[in-house]
Amino acid sequence: MDDTLALLGGTPAKNTPIPEWPYYDERERQALMDVLESRLWWRTPGTQCLAFEGEFARYQQANYAIAVTNGTAALEIALAALGVGPGDEVIVPDFTFVATASAVLAAGAMPVLVDCTPDTYCIDPALAEAAITSRTRAMIAVHMGGNVADLDALLDICRRHKLYLVEDSSHAHGSEWKGRKIGALGDIGTFSFQSSKLMTAGEGGAIVTDNQELERKARSIHDCGRLPGEWFYAHFMYGSNYRLSEWQGAVLRCQLGRADEQRAIRTRNTAFLNQQLSAIEGITPQKQDARCTCNGHYAYIFHLDTSAFAGISVPRFIEALNAEGAPTQASYPPLHEMALFQSGEFRRRLSGEQASQKFPFLHAEFPNTARGAWETVWLPQPALLGSEQDMQLIVAAVQKIQRHADQLVKIAR
Ligand SMILES: *Cc1c(COP(=O)(O)O)cnc(C)c1O
């Protein structure tokens, strides 16, 4: 058998295809045709977004859900509904997609970034508490990769300091904390249905909450400040157009119908990978909190100690693993290192004394975020929908790279 690394011209270890994503079948095809022929393409007189909202709220065990244009908009609306605005601070993990922080800037408020834990890569509650000031209004937890952030600790901190807790659940459709679905365990939660997410209509988002007043505000904000039952041209608060289309609502209903079945496959494959990969020297899978009783598994994340791989760089490992036929990607960079923050550009969103305020965290070291950002490898969720044999081949690909890592040291960058 040819054991040469695929990156060096050998045969890939994994020759089976990755399940195609987004997944669809006759159900989506029929649903789209039904919307087409109904001529109800707009949610306001339509039925699909409304039905999806009911189904998604039930799925996440929340009292209410509002379907919106995307996950970034969902965060912006959630913060607006909470009344976050100029002069406020919102505590956000340094390790997340930019939208978690940019939504705070969109509100004219300051995202105060804090480190994550070294093993779950979710926000560290003790550091979040230490970052509270008299200006802090809210915290945003991100359920990284589907693993739920420590909601017990975060809820306790938020209650004691009278802060709102927002759950950015863009990775965590179907995830649970101690037997209850996430999203509405905090004050308000947000989801994304962008193409890479666990269910998708290409773009899309949702807000969930158990709080009737927040639902009323968020629903109004997403529809130009209107209120249900009132005249179409009566506008009661600041809002914009964040409405989802009926096409997307119809597709999302089909996708939701498959969510549990797909999650079961990802859960089974994740257990297999955890067992097999943690036996390989230098590989540490993301820790799953035992209180996270169900995990949507947006990604399979593992830390790579490259000293067990002849000291090759993480990007080189990712390149080699991709060449072996296992899809991998790098992680999010630390937010505070981004040009948005380092150039001072973010200040254009702020006003008053906040616009020139010194924020020490911008020059701080966040060792655990650095570890998550630069030393982890992500297998995206569609790869977790394969068979057990596919998982075996991913493990074999990692083992093969370890056997021959010394050959990757020599080749030019
Ligand atoms: C995808 C994502 C978002 C934004 O969702 P969009 O639908 O792409 O706007 C926000 N937060 C996190 C953590 C995400 O992964």
93 CA distance to ligand 1 middle (Å): 14
Token representation of residue 237: 């608060």
Q: Choosing from 219, 243, 266, 400, which is the catalytic residue?
A: 243
**Burial (0-12, 13-18, 19+ Cβ within 10 Å), 37:** exposed
Nearest residue to 13 (alpha-carbon basis) of 360, 288, 404: 404
**Burial (0-12, 13-18, 19+ Cβ within 10 Å), 360:** exposed
274 CA distance to ligand 1 middle (Å): 26
Q: In what order do the strands lie in the sheet with 89-93?
A: 64-68, 205-209, 188-192, 164-168, 136-142, 89-93, 110-114
Is the beta carbon of 143 within 6 A of some atom in ligand 1?
Answer: no
pLDDT at 412: 63
Q: How many domains does the chain have?
A: 1
- Closest ligand 1 atom to Cα of 203: 7
Is the beta carbon of 142 within 6 A of some atom in ligand 1?
Answer: yes
Is the beta carbon of 100 within 6 A of some atom in ligand 1?
Answer: yes
pLDDT at 130: 98
Report how far apart, in Å, the C-alpha atoms of 331 and of each of 94, 99, 319 are: 12, 15, 14
CATH of the domain at 112: 3.40.640.10
Question: What tens-digit pLDDT sequence spans the chain (413 residues)?
Answer: 689 999 999 999 999 888 999 999 999 999 999 999 999 999 999 999 999 999 999 999 999 999 999 999 999 999 999 999 999 999 999 999 999 999 999 999 999 999 999 999 999 999 999 999 999 999 999 999 999 999 999 999 999 999 999 999 999 999 999 999 999 999 999 999 999 999 999 999 999 999 999 999 999 999 999 999 999 999 999 999 999 999 999 999 999 999 999 999 999 999 999 999 999 999 999 999 999 999 999 999 999 999 999 999 999 999 999 999 999 988 999 999 999 999 999 999 999 999 999 999 999 999 999 999 999 999 999 999 999 999 999 999 999 999 999 999 977 65
Q: Does the global pTM surpass 0.75?
A: yes
Q: Which domain holds residue 228?
A: 1-413
Q: H-helix or E-strand containing 341?
A: helix 339-342
What count of other Cβ atoms lies within 10 Å of the Cβ of residue 217? 24
Q: In what order do the strands lie in the sheet with 299-304?
A: 283-285, 299-304, 376-380
171 CA distance to ligand 1 middle (Å): 8
Active site annotation includes 171: yes
